[in-house]
Amino acid sequence: MAEFLVLGAGMVGVSSALALQARGHQVTIVDRKGAGLETSYGNAGMIQVEAAEPYALPRDLVTLFKYALEISNDVTWKMRGVVQMAPALWSYFRYSSPEKHAHISQFYSRLVARSTEDHRSLIRDAKAESLIRHRGLVMLHRNEKAFEKAAKKAAFLRQEYGVLSDIFDGKRYLKEEPALKKAQQALCILRKAGAVLRRES
């Protein structure tokens, strides 16, 4: 048995601590705030088995231009932060090349494929079953172009990594999700089977 000190009580720190404890080690977690109050608190609450590939840093000029001017929801930034994180951003940029990204994804996808299974015991031990919906992730698209892009990506993920998905009619889906009042004309839906969505509490 060894003694471990885990810094950070987010999802990663707590999961690591529990895994070490399960192997019989003595573990202490230290956090500068409370447990689970930072990123692990404010995320979208999905267990993303469909995210077989990590997010690559975009390299096309249009997207980078939008990031620079902060006209996208993806990124907000401050010059001081960019300077502080310059070495990490440079590594992120280098490892986001199509070749390196494809190579990394081969390993990443195997870890992600286990995520529903790996969360099962954490959910059970936390008695959190009532917070989880096992209905998959549904993506609504308001126009044909966005839908076609997503459908193409889904076909790629299915072929490359075996991620299951389903495409069905938007108007029919309104019956399943009464909170949605109307479907756009071209609303289409892509359900990626296996993902888990947390119910709002």
Ligand X SMILES: Cc1cc2nc3c(=O)[nH]c(=O)nc-3n(C[C@H](O)[C@H](O)[C@H](O)COP(=O)(O)OP(=O)(O)OC[C@H]3O[C@@H](n4cnc5c(N)ncnc54)[C@H](O)[C@@H]3O)c2cc1C
Instruction: Say if residues 133 and 198 touch (Cβ distance below 8 Å).
Output: yes
The rounded distance, in Å, linking the Cα atoms of 35 and 75 is 25
* 142 secondary structure, DSSP code: S
Q: For residue 9, what are its two tokens? A: 């009580």
Q: Answer yes or no whether residue 136 interacts with ligand X by CB under 6 A.
A: no
The rounded distance, in Å, linking the Cα atoms of 29 and 20 is 11
Site for ligand X in 51-70 (CB under 6 A): none
Q: Answer yes or no whether residue 84 interacts with ligand X by CB under 6 A.
A: no
Residue with tokens 């000029």: 61
Q: How many residues bind ligand X (CB under 6 A)?
A: 20
Nearest residue (CB) to ligand X, 112 versus 183: 112
Instruction: Please identify which residue in 19, 21, 22, 39 interacts with ligand X, judged by CB under 6 A.
Output: 39
Strands (E), the chain: 3-7, 26-30, 46-47, 132-133, 137-141, 166-169, 188-192, 196-198
* 126 secondary structure, DSSP code: T
Q: Answer yes or no whether residue 71 interacts with ligand X by CB under 6 A.
A: no
- Distance of closest approach, residue 39 Cβ to ligand X, in angstroms: 3
Q: Answer yes or no whether residue 116 interacts with ligand X by CB under 6 A.
A: no
With a CB cutoff of 8 Å and minimum separation 6, the contacts of 2 are 25, 26
Nearest residue (CB) to ligand X, 29 versus 151: 29
Nearest residue (CB) to ligand X, 54 versus 174: 54
By rule CB under 6 A, what string of x and - marks binding of each residue 12-31 to ligand X? xx----------------xx
Which residue stretch of 9-17, 87-95, 97-105, 159-167 sits at the interface with ligand X (rule: CB under 6 A)? 9-17
3-state DSSP assignment of residue 190: strand
Which residue stretch of 5-13, 92-100, 117-125, 184-192 sits at the interface with ligand X (rule: CB under 6 A)? 5-13
Instruction: Please identify which residue in 18, 29, 40, 95 interacts with ligand X, judged by CB under 6 A.
Output: 40
Binding residues vs ligand X (CB under 6 A) = 7-13, 30-33, 37-40, 43-46, 48
